[in-house]
Amino acid sequence: MPLQKNIRVRFAPSPTGPLHIGGVRTALYNYLFAKKHGGQCILRIEDTDSGRFVPGAEAYIIDALAWLGIRFDEGTVQGGPFAPYRQSERKAIYKTYVDQLISEGKAYIAFDTPAQLDQKRAEISNFQYDASTRMQMINSLTCSAEAVQARMDQGEPYVVRFKVEPDQEVRISDLIRGDVSFQSNVLDDKVLFKSADQLPTYHLANIVDDHLMEISHVIRGEEWLPSAPLHVLLYKALGWEDSMPSFAHLPLLLKPEGNGKLSKRDGDRLGFPVFPCDWTDPKTGDKSSGYREAGYFPEAVINFLALLGWNPGDDQEVRSMEELIRDFSLEKCSKSGARFDYEKGKWFNHQYLLSKTPETLAEAFRETLISKGFQPDANEQTEFNATDSHISMGYIVKAIALVKERATFVSDFWEQAGFFFERPNTYAEKNVKKFWKADTANLMQALYEQLDQLDCSDPHATETAVMDWINRNEYKTGAVMNAFRLSLVGESKGPHLFDIVALLGKKESLLRLKQAIETLK
């Protein structure tokens, strides 16, 4: 059996803004893969593109992934044997390898200014800086060593370019896509280093760090597949071919309609978040909404994302992080894009909400009640009490237990259960039209007298007694129930009617009946 190398993966975001939900999925798959194989998952911040650096983005990424329960073994926060993990702090390391490539003739120095490059682009259609054009440019291949030195001594800015050899076939064996091959001719002589900020570009820093940090598998989005041949050539040029990591390029997340890549605009257009947490752009003040603030449970987001592009092969949908780790495999990731089905995301949240106890949900609902002026506490109250802003946690728990089936988010509880805390003072017009007829007031008065003789604390017993009474008098069940519900709730919604009566209590239920009769007469 071949020796299994130690599994080490990395999530390597560039702090250029909030982390897109597709990036979260990449982080998740790296995490699942590492944990499944008892390996390490590393967070590396790729911030060498100073022009695109956005303050706050790194902290956002760390905070969002921590909220979701994606934990790193090494990174900017926890440190580790290969620290530092922020590329801007590793400048000197990259410089060594840039110098190595230059001295071995595998890279060269180029002085072309942006204006000169533009001019070439105007002259030559589809201009690419490569083997076919590099000898017409201003670089260390076309200038003498003295001239190059003189330009550098004068402080003229330059870049270092990778010298891509033409007519080579570059093969990548991708764990998701199989063998993919590229012609080196499609590649340009990529910039590896810029003298202006003394920083390497993404490509060089990425390869050097993957090598030095002993990364075994590069798991990243499909958008990086076109960079893979360049990366393979760089590994070879640096003499690291034998320790090259395996690649796995994940499928795109597609728009809900299924055509094209999911973007922030789709979220804005269809009203769902495409970021894990809220974000305000520090320059433009532009706001983007996140799953956390929209009321999602982190487990639901994880479960939802895990199944977007990975198919475990059975129909169990609700899976805990432990189960995801146990079952995850790159082989079962699909090549084709995964349609982003937002309704499915809500469905997952509903499932996780149902799996929580009413006690836990009541705790989460407390804040809403406080914001409405209530004081949830440990008092003994068991029934509705209009004169006291204190409500017992016990009462809240019972209300939640009755409505949780109907909620997707904790924030739905007020809409679903508000009438357990506030007596209705209006009645929904369209329900009144439908359910409150000329004789309804009399009918409700009769019901009032009937209920007054009952105890009302056992929903079952109340229901039996009321049904008996309806049958004896040959009333229409619907006529009684609809008007009764309207009186208690203020509209035609809510859980089982006699559960409502039991929780509100007899006194309050009668009061609400009386109020409806007087108001709607």
Binding site for ligand GLU (CB under 6 A): 12-14, 46, 202, 206, 220, 224
**CB contact at 8 A, 481 and 497:** yes
Identity of the residue, 46 or 74, whose beta carbon is nearer to ligand GLU in the bound complex = 46
Cα separation, 68 vs 404, whole angstroms: 23
Identity of the residue, 12 or 204, whose beta carbon is nearer to ligand GLU in the bound complex = 12
Q: Which residues have C-beta within 8 Å of that of residue 300, sequence separation ≥ 6? A: 345, 348, 349, 351, 352
Q: Which of 91, 264, 344, 514 is catalytic?
A: 264
Nearest alpha-carbon partner for 447 in 492, 514, 500: 514
Written as one string, the DSSP assignment of 242-298 is: GGPPEEEEEPPEEPTTSSSB--HHHHHHHT--SBSS-EE-TTT--EE-BTTTTT--H
Cα separation, 9 vs 12, whole angstroms: 10
Minimum gap (Å) between residue 267 Cβ and ligand GLU: 19
Cα separation, 433 vs 96, whole angstroms: 81
Cα separation, 124 vs 26, whole angstroms: 39
- The first and second tokens of residue 476, run together, are 């229409």
Identity of the residue, 13 or 490, whose beta carbon is nearer to ligand GLU in the bound complex = 13
Buried-state track 33-51, b at ≥16 Cβ within 10 A, e below 16: bbbbbebbbbbbbbbbbee
Identity of the residue, 158 or 247, whose beta carbon is nearer to ligand GLU in the bound complex = 247
Identity of the residue, 224 or 475, whose beta carbon is nearer to ligand GLU in the bound complex = 224
Minimum gap (Å) between residue 246 Cβ and ligand GLU: 13
Minimum gap (Å) between residue 14 Cβ and ligand GLU: 4
Nearest alpha-carbon partner for 506 in 466, 451, 467, 460: 451
* 3-class DSSP state of 37: coil
Identity of the residue, 219 or 489, whose beta carbon is nearer to ligand GLU in the bound complex = 219
Written as one string, the DSSP assignment of 150-172 is: HHHHTT---EEEE-PPSS-EEEE
Residue 264 bears catalytic tag: yes
**CB contact at 8 A, 358 and 400:** yes
Cα separation, 493 vs 407, whole angstroms: 13
Minimum gap (Å) between residue 411 Cβ and ligand GLU: 33
Identity of the residue, 17 or 495, whose beta carbon is nearer to ligand GLU in the bound complex = 17
Minimum gap (Å) between residue 250 Cβ and ligand GLU: 10
Minimum gap (Å) between residue 33 Cβ and ligand GLU: 13
Minimum gap (Å) between residue 40 Cβ and ligand GLU: 16
Q: Which residues have C-beta within 8 Å of that of residue 129, sequence separation ≥ 6? A: 110, 112, 117, 137, 161, 188, 189
Cα separation, 42 vs 31, whole angstroms: 9
What would you report as the CA-atom Rg of the chain, rounded to the nearest whole angstrom?
A: 33
Minimum gap (Å) between residue 196 Cβ and ligand GLU: 20
Identity of the residue, 9 or 513, whose beta carbon is nearer to ligand GLU in the bound complex = 9
Minimum gap (Å) between residue 206 Cβ and ligand GLU: 5
Cα separation, 441 vs 515, whole angstroms: 11
Count of beta carbons in the 10 Å neighbourhood of residue 349: 24
Count of beta carbons in the 10 Å neighbourhood of residue 320: 13
Q: Give, in order, the Cα–Cα distances in Å from 348 to each of 26, 100, 277, 344.
A: 20, 52, 18, 6
Task: For residue 79, list its beta bridge partners.
Answer: 75
Minimum gap (Å) between residue 259 Cβ and ligand GLU: 23
Cα separation, 388 vs 374, whole angstroms: 9
Nearest alpha-carbon partner for 91 in 200, 18, 169: 200
Identity of the residue, 12 or 501, whose beta carbon is nearer to ligand GLU in the bound complex = 12
Q: Which residues have C-beta within 8 Å of that of residue 458, sequence separation ≥ 6? A: 502
Identity of the residue, 14 or 487, whose beta carbon is nearer to ligand GLU in the bound complex = 14
* Catalytic machinery residues: 264
